[in-house]
Structure 1
Amino acid sequence: MSMTAQKLNQIDPVWHRIRAEASAATETAPLMAGMFHTSILHHSTLERALSYRMAMKLSDGEMPEQILREIVDSAYIADDSLGTAARADLVATFERDPVCHRLIEPLLFFKGFQAVQAYRIAHWLWSNDRRDLALFFQMRSSEVFGVDIQPGARLGKGIMIDHAHSVVIGETAVVGDNVSMLHSVTLGGTGKETEDRHPKIGDGVMIGAGAKVLGNIRVGHCSRIAAGSVVLEDVPPMKTVAGIPARIVGEAGCAQPSLTMDQLFGSV
């Protein structure tokens, strides 16, 4: 490792731990050592590893891997907040998902984490008037990961999408910090309306599997949306809603639902 890489490693504890886990994994799973080296150990920073991983997953016959790597690298160089958000998402997944035991697992294997990072690059491109490229990232992410996040949507830091199958987030949706959602969640509109037409999700919200939040409505911070619910009206902060259409069924049950991931009504 070069002196520059060593210095970067020393001031980035997340990346330092990822590299240590990858090194250990080459011993315990020698048949996968090549993957650990090419995806992690050959790179000097988390951003470079993410760039490689994204290019490997999203490249196709129309967009070669090398071009995608250059696009993603340029985004990370231009905007430090992308790397900061990626680290927050990574730690969020590690802390909230009970099947996640190492930081390398979301980076290599969890499509929810990878899809959110692809969205972050797409959003950067969208915000910098490179909309065709942004839409390409959205299309490929939907095809590869089963997650369709319109690049105009705004997502905060510390986002965890568990299982991440059939998740849809519309163009004018806003998602706060430290939000957790499960598979088959939709943050959508209610028809063909234009302008601001998608939900606004507060910080610390947990959205259960299969929940649909529709229209330009607000979901207050630290609230819980039960699995399978259809939310059509504003949700006050720190409440639990359930049903079709969703109604308030109690308090949130804890200060940070998105962190505890408690989905049982018994805790209300």
Structure 2
Amino acid sequence: MPDARLQLAQIDPVWDRITREARAAIADEPVLGGLVHSSVLHHPSIERALAYRVSMKLASDEMSVQILREICDEAHGSDPTIADAARADIAAIFDRDPACHRFLQPLLYFKGFQAVQSQRIAHWLWQEGRRDLAYFFQMRASEIYGVDIHPAARIGRGIMIDHAHSIVVGETAVVGNNVSMLHSVTLGGTGKEDEDRHPKIGDGVLIGAGAKVLGNISIGHCSRIAAGSVVLHDVPPCKTVAGVPAKIVGEAGCDQPSRSMDQLLNM
């Protein structure tokens, strides 16, 4: 009789839903059969599918798909939290992005999701001391996705980066769980200082398009940063900041700004 713990470990509602949606997608659009089979249905798990998708996107004449895939498989085998975070990211994107109608979409089409998964592999490499290879992943992700996240940056789970053009996240930045950010966001430094020099973003924060958060500052949980703002100082939890430089303009307006995605300022 199979071990009940092994059976439980094999239950993966996110992956099961993705595979069901993949079959439906082929039925609706047979010409996508090659893409969907190679990216999803040929794989026994989300870990293998993520490794394949990342390696296919980042491969170049300088580094083959096979080598990258072996690296990604090694990372997933060593650290199960990488795929757990990806599952949370998919659920978050489906919940928050009105353009996302299936769990399948982020895996196949959304570069914000794919860029974050690339960074998770790069971060694992960084922690393993394989820093040049981590930099290679960063370089290729920047070239392919237009998203530049340093391998040392710590990224939580349940992350949605919508559109994902021109996202920059610095080396000592920390992004908490269930954070949403839109395109052209920078989590950067303020000069050439060494050591801890980048923002710390709390859980549940919403960062609007074009916002710049600079320096070793803390953005409190469940706060909102309005589009186009330049944030140079700490932000308390559950507040809304706006402007250049950003100032507190009110409460966050709800208990989960990153989920509501409400960017209107009621001033």
TM-score by length of 2: 0.96
User: Whole-Å Cα distance in 2 between the matches of residues 229 and 265 of structure 1?
Assistant: 13
The number of residue pairs the alignment matches comes to: 262
1:41 aligns with 2:41: yes
Determine the structure 1 residue equivalent to 2:185.
Answer: 185
Determine the structure 1 residue equivalent to 2:197.
Answer: 197
| SS of residue in 1 equivalent to 2:85 | helix
- AA partner of residue 259 (structure 2): L
Per-residue deviation, residues 128-150 of structure 1 (Å, max 9, x unmatched):
10001100000000000000000
Determine the structure 2 residue equivalent to 1:99.
Answer: 99
Q: Alignment RMSD, CA only? A: 1.3
Determine the structure 2 residue equivalent to 1:4.
Answer: none
| SS of residue in 1 equivalent to 2:250 | strand
Identify unmatched segments of 5+ residues in structure 1.
1-6
User: Whole-Å Cα distance in 1 between the matches of residues 237 and 158 of structure 2?
Assistant: 19
- AA partner of residue 152 (structure 2): G
Determine the structure 1 residue equivalent to 2:130.
Answer: 130
Identify unmatched segments of 5+ residues in structure 2.
1-6
User: Whole-Å Cα distance in 1 between the matches of residues 30 and 159 of structure 2?
Assistant: 32
User: By how many angstroms is 1:34 displaced?
Assistant: 1.1
User: Whole-Å Cα distance in 1 between the matches of residues 233 and 223 of structure 2?
Assistant: 14
Determine the structure 1 residue equivalent to 2:147.
Answer: 147
User: By how many angstroms is 1:107 displaced?
Assistant: 0.2
Q: 1:79 to 1:9 in 2, by over 3 A?
A: closer
1:257 aligns with 2:257: yes
User: Whole-Å Cα distance in 1 between the matches of residues 55 and 213 of structure 2?
Assistant: 32
User: By how many angstroms is 1:161 displaced?
Assistant: 0.3
User: Whole-Å Cα distance in 2 between the matches of residues 12 and 54 of structure 1?
Assistant: 20
User: Whole-Å Cα distance in 1 between the matches of residues 202 and 260 of structure 2?
Assistant: 16
Determine the structure 2 residue equivalent to 1:77.
Answer: 77
User: By how many angstroms is 1:168 displaced?
Assistant: 0.1
Pairs within 5 Å for 1:1-268: 11-266=11-266
Per-residue deviation, residues 134-178 of structure 1 (Å, max 9, x unmatched):
000000000000000000110111111000000000000011000
User: By how many angstroms is 1:8 displaced?
Assistant: 8.2
Q: Any conservation in 2 of the 1:9–1:16 contact (CA below 8 Å)?
A: no
Per-residue deviation, residues 70-102 of structure 1 (Å, max 9, x unmatched):
000000000011111010111111111000000
| SS of residue in 2 equivalent to 1:55 | helix
Determine the structure 2 residue equivalent to 1:3.
Answer: none
TM-score by length of 1: 0.96
- AA partner of residue 192 (structure 1): K
Aligned structure 1 segments of 4 or more residues deviating by more than 4 angstroms? 7-10
